[in-house]
């Protein structure tokens, strides 16, 4: 019997939180790389990134060629958003 714990079938974080945390650690990753790492569809990652960008949480900056860099927007201290 393996020593690994079974993975739960749920996550306490929403896909928005998971995508935001992933790009905080991997700002130059592609959406396809994020989708694979997070076990989400590329379409879900793209839709989630659009939501985060529209809300001002991230900025997607075009780098060399087709590569992008995801920059997280700093939140004002003490600000609570709903």
- Give the pLDDT confidence of 24-73 residue by residue, as tens digits: 999 999 999 999 999 999 999 999 999 999 999 999 888 877 788 898 88
Q: What is the number of domains present in the chain?
A: 1
In a domain, 82, yes or no: no
Question: For position 34, what pLDDT does the model report?
Answer: 95
Least confident residue range of 16-20, 73-77, 78-82: 78-82
In a domain, 8, yes or no: no
Enclosing H/E stretch for 24: helix 15-25
User: What pTM did the predictor assign?
Assistant: 0.74
In a domain, 24, yes or no: yes
Asked if residues 1 and 7 have their Cβ atoms less than 8 Å apart, the reply is no
- Per the structure, the complete domain to which residue 50 belongs is given by 15-72
In a domain, 7, yes or no: no
Task: Quote the CA–CA distance of 82 and 80 in Å, as a whole number.
Answer: 7
């Amino acid at each position: 019997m393996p020593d690994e714990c079974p993975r739960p079938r749920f996550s306490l974080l929403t896909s928005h939180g998971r995508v935001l945390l992933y790009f905080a650690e991997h700002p130059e990753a592609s959406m396809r790389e994020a989708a694979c790492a997070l076990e989400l569809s590329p379409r879900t990652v793209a839709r989630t990134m659009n939501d985060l960008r529209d809300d001002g949480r991230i900025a997607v900056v075009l780098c060399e060629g087709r590569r992008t860099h995801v920059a997280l927007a700093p939140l004002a201290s003490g600000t609570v958003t709903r």
